[in-house]
């Protein structure tokens, strides 16, 4: 009877233990990453009252089983349901991480200050030192670090300090590539102006400082011939200050072909300092003692753009190509400082690179030479007749071509004749009115002085060699019905003009270095800018060098870019490395012009320069400030920065065990290895190595099944009640036994 009591007591004890486990499961039903446990019982020892005996063939007696009486039950084991995942709870927090296992159970590796332990609870945060830690305990999350090249080093796990001081910012990147895209239209007013059509390129240096390179595009060829020039006009820092001011190199060094640029008017970019107008005049008009590299008496050199020479000494047709400069040097009276036009003079023509090309174009003028190669004369003249102008117009196909009847033949026939346009007739009158054949004033004037000529039609017939054959006119309002020959008058009209007549329309050149030395402008000018000062009215213009820039040639068939700079090239380099110093760490920028087009676009230009190549690489970036953190499926942690960079900061490593159920729970949602779980190698594995993943913004909840727990609670309660009934029944029987004595 005492055995029954003791057996029931053991039953009460084991069922109470099971109830403890159930209570713990239910208590942790909302614990992040909690794994439920279950209990198993086993029988205790048995008391054998009779041993089993075998069958006896001799006596024919059968075998007898052993007689045993059990002595109760005992608590056999608890088993953790480690492999069953809990439900997912979406939180949206970047460092709420859920381990989604595929083939094996994984654990985060965390350090409690003395050892590495393991957890499934992925509620993490970044502490004040920048470490990734468990929210509940502050244990640091362990993982792998990145090397100097930004690659993960899978070595012994260390704390993930993802917001260390060096991770707070992202390194800047210098600009290496840019592209010029859009449309240039010949009819756009800006490309046909002295200032050109402006484009800006924003770029970064090696330290992340931003700059703005300014370019100007000008139409430098004839209309519809597809020729343009692009020039660098300045480079400004983030404060709007020119970095070229005071630099030892010039604009043409950074972006120039040596001869293909054009002089861009940048006057509006600079301001004359207060009270410095007289200083500029003095600097411009001070006599020079050096002409073309040779020391002479005091002189002053006036410069005339070829366009001005064409207008004043030539015709509306260019007899000098654009981009040339005519230099006329006069002697200066040392006492008065005035020009002495009776003294020796010199004359030369230079191209945009400063190369003397006088002998190439001198035939256009009527000078005398001194045998040394330099042209000298009291006045450089250009002689032209009305017939010369008409022949030039014909060569350029600028005359009206008409079919007229020829009534002098039998039978009558038709022939081609050429007619002067009204504006061409007006040009002839402006140029030759009142002149004799030798250029002297004509007594009574010539045919161009006649008012009736305004109503005349003038036709010209040419010989096979392109020279004028006949020039005829008739005046319908005056009743004329036949053509009258006016060839004598027009052929005899000759214009003799001297460059001295337009001396005040030339300019005196002042270098930027001279102006900077005297502080004439409020800000310094790039060293190779030129100040063109007009003595007549004190006006000035600041222009870029003619060697600054590149010629762009577009196809006249489809408007696509054929080349820039030289044939075969569709890109050019902004050579900033020439400006690189310890204080200014610049790198070259390759600018791609290949997609730029020359098309009719309603006189509107859309051309623009933007950083980055065709694949947006090489744009450059300023220093970035961390703006966010994120974790990918493999546990890699990335930082997002204000400059657009995304940088790998580290990777969360996980641990896997041969027998995860053998881990020892040490509280705080953590486990420790045991002799039956398998050891941790100190390195860990990548989460996605077996197809598993880490889900960011999600937590793994408890895997406790309340329905199962409540069922187990009922069966445990019934077992406990039954054992208590055995005890009370045994007690009643013992009481009856005691009562026998009474």
* Predicted pLDDT at 422: 84
- For residues 194 and 305, what is the distance between their CA atoms, to the nearest angstrom? 12
- Is-contact 399 420, C-beta < 8 A? yes
User: Per-residue pLDDT averaged across 206-230, rounded?
Assistant: 90
Q: In this model, does residue 494 exceed pLDDT 80?
A: no
User: Per-residue pLDDT averaged across 433-445, rounded?
Assistant: 71
Q: What is the mean pLDDT of the chain?
A: 85
Per-residue confidence band for 378, with pLDDT thresholds at 50, 70 and 90: very low
Q: In this model, does residue 399 exceed pLDDT 70?
A: yes
Helices (H) and strands (E) in the chain, counts: 10, 49
User: Per-residue pLDDT averaged across 474-485, rounded?
Assistant: 58
**Please, how many CA atoms are within 13 Å of residue 628, restricted to the half-sphere of its CB?**
10
Distances (CA, A) of 239 to 120, 242, 532: 54, 9, 28
Q: Is the pTM of this model over 0.85?
A: no
Q: Mind listing the pLDDT tens digit for each residue in 241-283? A: 888 887 888 999 999 887 777 889 999 999 999 989 999 999 9
* Predicted pLDDT at 374: 42
- For residues 383 and 366, what is the distance between their CA atoms, to the nearest angstrom? 7
- Is-contact 121 33, C-beta < 8 A? yes
Per-residue confidence band for 486, with pLDDT thresholds at 50, 70 and 90: low
List the single range of 313-317, 338-342, 631-635 with lowest mean pLDDT: 313-317
User: Per-residue pLDDT averaged across 195-213, rounded?
Assistant: 93
Q: 276-297 in b/e burial notation, b at 16+ Cβ within 10 A?
A: beeebbebbbeeeeebeeeeee
- Is-contact 669 80, C-beta < 8 A? no
User: Per-residue pLDDT averaged across 83-100, rounded?
Assistant: 91
User: Per-residue pLDDT averaged across 534-543, rounded?
Assistant: 92
* Predicted pLDDT at 376: 45
Task: Give the residue with greater pLDDT, 376 vs 628.
Answer: 628
At 488, list the tokens: 């004598």
| Neighbour tally for 532: CB within 10 Å | 20
Q: Mind listing the pLDDT tens digit for each residue in 138-172? A: 999 999 999 988 899 999 999 999 998 888 998 89
Per-residue confidence band for 413, with pLDDT thresholds at 50, 70 and 90: low
**What are the residues facing 650 on neighbouring strands?**
637
Chain-centre distance for alpha carbon 441: 66
Cis peptide before 411 (omega within 30 of 0): yes
- Is-contact 300 285, C-beta < 8 A? yes
User: Per-residue pLDDT averaged across 481-502, rounded?
Assistant: 65
List the single range of 14-28, 86-100, 218-232, 362-376 with lowest mean pLDDT: 362-376
- For residues 5 and 13, what is the distance between their CA atoms, to the nearest angstrom? 12
Per-residue confidence band for 582, with pLDDT thresholds at 50, 70 and 90: low
DSSP 3-state of 284: helix
| Neighbour tally for 437: CB within 10 Å | 14
Chain-centre distance for alpha carbon 566: 26
Q: In this model, does residue 607 exceed pLDDT 60?
A: yes
- For residues 207 and 584, what is the distance between their CA atoms, to the nearest angstrom? 9
* Predicted pLDDT at 333: 85
- For residues 345 and 300, what is the distance between their CA atoms, to the nearest angstrom? 10
The percentage of residues in the chain with a pLDDT greater than 90, rounded to a whole number, is 42
* Predicted pLDDT at 62: 87
* Predicted pLDDT at 653: 96
At 220, list the tokens: 């430098």
* Predicted pLDDT at 373: 39
DSSP 3-state of 275: coil
Per-residue confidence band for 370, with pLDDT thresholds at 50, 70 and 90: very low
* Predicted pLDDT at 143: 96
- For residues 452 and 446, what is the distance between their CA atoms, to the nearest angstrom? 12
């Amino acid at each position: 009877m005492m055995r029954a009591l003791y057996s029931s007591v053991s039953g009460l004890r084991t069922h109470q233990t099971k109830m403890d486990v159930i209570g713990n499961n239910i208590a942790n039903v909302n614990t992040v990453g909690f794994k439920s446990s279950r209990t198993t019982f086993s029988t205790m020892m048995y008391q054998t009252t009779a041993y089993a005996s075998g069958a006896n063939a001799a006596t024919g007696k059968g075998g007898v089983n052993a007689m045993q009486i059990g002595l109760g039950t005992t608590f056999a084991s608890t088993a953790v349901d480690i492999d069953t995942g809990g439900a997912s709870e979406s939180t949206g927090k970047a460092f709420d991480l859920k381990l989604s296992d595929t083939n094996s159970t994984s654990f985060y590796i965390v350090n409690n200050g003395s050892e590495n332990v393991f957890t499934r609870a992925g509620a993490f945060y970044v502490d004040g030192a920048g470490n990734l830690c468990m929210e509940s305990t502050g244990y640091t999350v362990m993982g792998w670090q990145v090397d100097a090249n930004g690659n993960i080093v899978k070595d012994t796990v260390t704390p993930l300090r993802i917001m260390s001081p060096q991770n707070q910012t992202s390194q800047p990147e210098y600009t290496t590539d840019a592209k010029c895209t859009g449309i240039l239209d010949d009819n756009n007013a800006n490309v046909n102006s002295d200032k050109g059509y402006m484009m800006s390129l924003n770029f970064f240096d090696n330290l992340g400082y931003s700059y703005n390179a300014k370019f100007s595009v000008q139409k430098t060829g004839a209309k519809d011939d597809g020729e343009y020039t692009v020039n660098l006009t300045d480079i400004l820092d983030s404060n709007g200050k020119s970095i070229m001011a005071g630099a030892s190199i010039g604009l043409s060094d950074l972006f120039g072909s040596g001869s293909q640029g054009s002089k861009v008017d940048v006057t509006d970019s600079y301001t004359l300092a207060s009270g410095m107008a007289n200083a500029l005049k003095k600097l411009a008009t001070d006599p020079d003692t050096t002409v073309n590299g040779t020391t002479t008496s005091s002189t002053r050199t006036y410069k005339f753009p070829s366009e001005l020479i064409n207008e004043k000494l030539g015709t509306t047709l260019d007899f000098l190509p654009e981009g040339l400069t005519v230099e006329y040097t006069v002697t200066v009276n040392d006492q008065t400082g005035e020009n002495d036009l009776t003294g020796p003079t010199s004359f030369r023509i230079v191209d945009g690179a400063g190369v003397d090309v006088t002998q190439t174009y001198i035939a256009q003028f009527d000078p005398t030479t001194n045998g040394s190669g330099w042209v000298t004369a009291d006045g450089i003249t250009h002689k032209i007749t009305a017939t010369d102008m008409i022949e030039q117009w014909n060569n350029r196909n600028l005359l009206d071509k008409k079919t007229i009847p020829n009534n002098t033949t039998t039978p009558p026939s038709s022939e081609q004749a050429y007619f002067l346009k009204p504006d061409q007739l007006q040009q002839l009158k402006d140029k030759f009115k009142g002149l004799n054949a030798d250029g002297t004033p004509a007594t009574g004037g010539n045919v161009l002085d006649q008012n009736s000529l305004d109503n005349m039609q003038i036709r010209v017939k040419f010989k096979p060699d392109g020279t004028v054959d006949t020039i005829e006119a008739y005046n319908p309002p005056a009743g004329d019905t036949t053509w009258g020959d006016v060839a004598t008058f027009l052929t005899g009209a000759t214009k003799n003009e001297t460059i001295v007549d337009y001396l005040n329309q030339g300019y005196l050149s002042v270098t930027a270095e001279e102006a900077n030395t005297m502080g004439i402008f409020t800000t310094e000018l790039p060293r190779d800018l030129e100040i063109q000062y007009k003595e007549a009215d004190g006006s000035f213009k600041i222009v870029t060098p003619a060697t600054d820039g590149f010629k762009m040639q577009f196809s006249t068939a489809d408007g696509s870019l054929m080349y820039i700079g030289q044939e075969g090239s569709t890109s050019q380099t902004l050579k900033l490395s020439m400006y690189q110093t310890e204080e200014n760490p610049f790198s070259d920028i390759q600018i791609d012009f290949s997609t730029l087009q020359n098309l009719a676009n309603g006189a509107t230009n859309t051309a623009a320069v933007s950083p980055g190549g065709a694949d947006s690489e090489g744009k450059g970036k300023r220093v970035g400030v961390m703006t966010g953190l994120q974790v990918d499926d493999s546990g890699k942690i990335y930082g997002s920065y204000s400059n657009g960079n995304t940088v790998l900061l580290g990777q969360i490593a996980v641990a896997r065990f041969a027998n995860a159920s053998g881990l020892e729970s040490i509280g705080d949602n953590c486990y420790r290895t045991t002799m039956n779980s398998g050891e941790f190698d100190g390195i860990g594995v990548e989460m996605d190595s077996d197809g598993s993943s880490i889900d960011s913004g999600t937590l793994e909840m408890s895997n406790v099944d309340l329905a199962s727990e409540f069922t187990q609670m009922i069966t445990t309660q019934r077992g406990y009640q039954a054992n208590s009934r055995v005890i009370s029944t045994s007690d009643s029987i013992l009481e009856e036994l005691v009562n026998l004595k009474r």
